[in-house]
Amino acid sequence: MNGVLIIDKPGGFTSHDVVNRVRRILNQRSVGHLGTLDPLATGVLPLVTGNLTRLAQFYTTSEKCYQGVIRFGFATDTYDAEGEPAAPRQPVTLNLDQVVALAAAFRGVIEQMPPPFSAKKIHGVPAYKLARKKKEVVLQAVQVEIKEFEILGVDADRARFRARVASGTYMRSVAHEMGQRLGCGAHLESLRRTAVAEFMIADAHTLEQLEETARAGRADDPSATFEECFVHPRLLLPQFPSVTADEANVARIRAGRPVNLPEFSRAPQVKIFSSQKDLLAIATRVAGTLFHPKIVLV
């Protein structure tokens, strides 16, 4: 099975937990994910299987969309609801206009300090491993981009939000810094990822749905069992134009040789299919209309 599957990750699971569960359901070892999601968070977790795990390199800087809740009144050591309170809780009643104005200050390109409990590495060691051992975690601020950040409403000490951010942005850090600026502390109470690149929550499957599909499927043809769960290959990497190669070019590409694609003289990269659904390769333009296969998938 070579494909991309969108899972609606449940809360309490690590991304690796989901990968392991899907490996068992599909009975396939070659499964990976396109970017981690915190255990607290739910929502879009795209998985790649089989040969299409090689597509991961094209999604390292993918844009992401979120909805969530920030709770004001106290910060935590993890910057989210799973952590220990960093100070006693303060009574807070939020003013919508005040929180909306505060959120506006975070939009655009900003310097952000990653959470100490994060996958950021310090001398090759993930920061969260040092933090768990109560060792000093010294991280450097990084430049991130928050393209949209809207406060949808407030209720007592909680603010609901929607955000669209560039890769590498921590909404936990946004919540923490908002609490610092208001002087009352804050943390991310809940987070749901609604999109990663072209993958949307409306197209996601729960682990339970995937297991039900497996139980009702065909033992003689596992690929057919899960076919409708996978994203159609033509919908992948929509920023790249696609072409269906003839037999001669299919043979050249499988041999790792360049092909001439005169209709794509300006495209930097092209998806090449051997049929309507079989993604054969991603090719990069090397000169004029000459394209060399960057990766061959079939």
Catalytic annotation, residues = 38
Q: Measured on CA atoms in the order 23, 25, 28, 32, is the torsion positive or negative?
A: negative
Among 199, 184, 191, CA closest to 98 = 184
